[in-house]
Amino acid sequence: MSIDRDTAARVAKLARIRVEENDLPALAQEFNNILGFIEQLNEVDVEGVEPMTSVTPQRLKRRKDEVTDGGYQDKVLSNAPDAREGFFAVPKVVE
Amino acid sequence: MSDLNTLTISDARDKLRTKEITAAELTESCLSAIEGADALGAFVHNTPELAREQAKAADTRLAEGDAPAMCGIPLGIKDLFCTKGVPSQAASGILKGFIPEYESTVSQNLFNAGAVMLGKLNMDEFAMGSSNETSVYGNAVNPWRRGNEEAALTPGGSSGGSASAVSADLCLGATGTDTGGSIRQPAAFVGITGIKPTYGRCSRWGIVAFASSLDQAGPMTKTVRDSAIMLEAMCGHDPKDSTSAELAVPNFEAMLTGDIKGKKIGIPKEYRMDGMPTEIEKLWTDGAEMLRAAGAEIVDISLPHTKYALPAYYVIAPAEASSNLARYDGVRYGHRAQLAQGDGITEMYEKTRAEGFGPEVQRRVMIGTYVLSAGFYDAYYNRARRVRALIKKDFDDVFAAGVDAILTPATPSAAFGLGEMKDADPVQMYLNDVFTVTVNLAGLPGISVPAGLDKQGLPLGLQLIGRPWEEGDLLNTAYVLEEAAGFVAKPTKWW
């Protein structure tokens, strides 16, 4: 399967990474090279094999649903590019 | 003594305990070595004040007789670890200016044991790379050179700064992380030891995530004994990482008996690749002979799905990365792009991520997005996870047949020149991890031990792969290999 320019543009959009129009053909070509490498997996007989979720046969641990941490808004916001009045500030989301 | 920075961790520990040296002197020695080593590009954020403060505290503990093995030992910490109050940006532009309010569990464990942090170490951006050339800080450089040539070589990646710093004696040990070979490949390229423990041995909490089902932290040190000492201090159960194992941490150093009589060492035929340099082939054969001479039984084994490990990895790792790196959106931390009039939130995400991520990271995030997208999830992602199950089964079968450890080359070549792979297809660079990536997919412990020099005078490493949770046994086999190989060469100082 081959990735064209439109598919490359769609993937970039899904990944929320701006790619300039001029760069799309080269990007599509790179995807095709990597996917060509990945295609080898089609040679493997995986009939009846469960997809692996964890390398160790352990159930994901559970904990009590309780507050164990928090109460330091200033620390949470200390690295924000734009924080105002105790909140993260972003451009307008809803018209 | 003026060259305390060249000590091993075990020697420094003994001298600290007998009061022959102080942690303050040891730290000063490393700080001066770092000052003169800018050309290596290894340290990217220096923390001399913190180091001096920690050394002072370590000397107090030593004086009081409360001295764990790592007490007073100066280390470098890979930039992937979040360190409280110290820039931690995973060598990425998107985390420029990020100063964590918290400490990663692994670095906290080391500090609790009295270790000293000299600074943060260079790496590939988000640990994606095999040559340290994707770093926003610029390249880390290998202290080794080919013969009398001046061409700068890669220290490997992604833990390239860690490898360079330990090899050049800028610190006594360093933390690394390994998702597909990022501890073992650079260790081999610079002639040091590096171990990736079993998945779940070290807490991942506070380590910037790349591919969560594969990432593991581990030590990079001058000797196998040092790796045993440092690994013990790094690992242990952590409730903050749900995949962290609730297992007691053994005294790894005490397990270095040097006795491997009767151990069964497997030689996997699938690792004998076309075009493998004869020197590496010979190193591998010699290594097997050394283990045989020490009383181990060498057996031929087969790991039939080896060939599919790299393609499976290049589906699974980018898929996990695309999810993990979704958090870098310019809202909570790091870089945010300048917006134009009328730009909304989508433009903010897209511009921020285009500016903040380098080309290799963008490539992997987009590949990951593609293989997870509707219509391709089964064909790529689920198929890769099925193949991963088969790769793990290959190892399970071999261990069930009584094999204790597996010996392979660590890398398909010695260190290559910086810039040499510039025009190569990304897949060519991925091939660096061909011998190491299987170990991550199966969650096993793997160690790289320096075993010889090639004809150009560059170090070459051998890899040993162990049974899950048996790092102690693995370290002991590595210790025997280290003793037998007798690798003592050091790079000639040019920096």
How would DSSP label each residue in B73-106?
Answer: -EEEEETTB-BTTB---TT-GGGTT---SS--HH
How would DSSP label each residue in B218-259?
Answer: EEEESSHHHHHHHHHHH----TTSTTS---PPP-TGGG--S-
Distance (Å) from the alpha carbon of A2 to chain B's nearest alpha carbon? 12
* Residue of B227, B289, B262 whose CA lies nearest to B479: B227
Distance (Å) from the alpha carbon of B437 to chain A's nearest alpha carbon? 14
The ranges of chain B with pLDDT < 70 are 1-2
Residues from chain A contacting residue B315 (CB–CB below 8 Å): 38, 41
* Residue of B471, B480, B432 whose CA lies nearest to B196: B471
Domain boundary assignment for chain A: 5-42
* Rounded Cα–Cα distance for residues A19 and A23 (Å): 6
Token pair belonging to B73? 């030992």
| pLDDT at position B200 | 96
Under DSSP, the state recorded for B79 is T
Mutate to test the interface with B, among A30, A44, A77 (most CBs of B within 10 A): A44
Interval A34-93: pLDDT, tens: 999 999 999 999 999 999 988 887 777 788 999 988 999 999 999 999 999 999 999 988
Residue with tokens 């790349």: B210
Domain boundary assignment for chain B: 4-261+408-421+443-485
* Rounded Cα–Cα distance for residues A11 and B370 (Å): 6
Could you tell me if B267 and B403 are in contact, meaning their C-beta atoms sit under 8 angstroms apart?
Answer: no
pLDDT at A12 over 70: yes
Could you tell me if A54 and A61 are in contact, meaning their C-beta atoms sit under 8 angstroms apart?
Answer: no
Q: Is domain B4-261+408-421+443-485 classified as CATH 3.40.395.10?
A: no
Task: Give A87's strand partners.
Answer: A84
| pLDDT at position B6 | 98
Distance (Å) from the alpha carbon of B344 to chain A's nearest alpha carbon? 6
What are φ and ψ of residue B124, in 5° steps?
-70, 150
Residues B34/B447/B277/B392 CA torsion (nearest 10 deg): -140
Q: ipTM of the assembly?
A: 0.95
Interval A13-27: pLDDT, tens: 999 999 999 999 999
Residues from chain B contacting residue A33 (CB–CB below 8 Å): 425-427
Give pTM, 2 decimals.
Answer: 0.97
Residues contacting residue B430 through CB under 8 Å, at least 6 positions apart: A37, B130, B310, B314
| pLDDT at position B2 | 66
| pLDDT at position A1 | 57
Could you tell me if B54 and B117 are in contact, meaning their C-beta atoms sit under 8 angstroms apart?
Answer: yes
Question: Cβ–Cβ of B349/A16 closer than 8 Å?
Answer: yes
* Rounded Cα–Cα distance for residues A74 and A81 (Å): 13
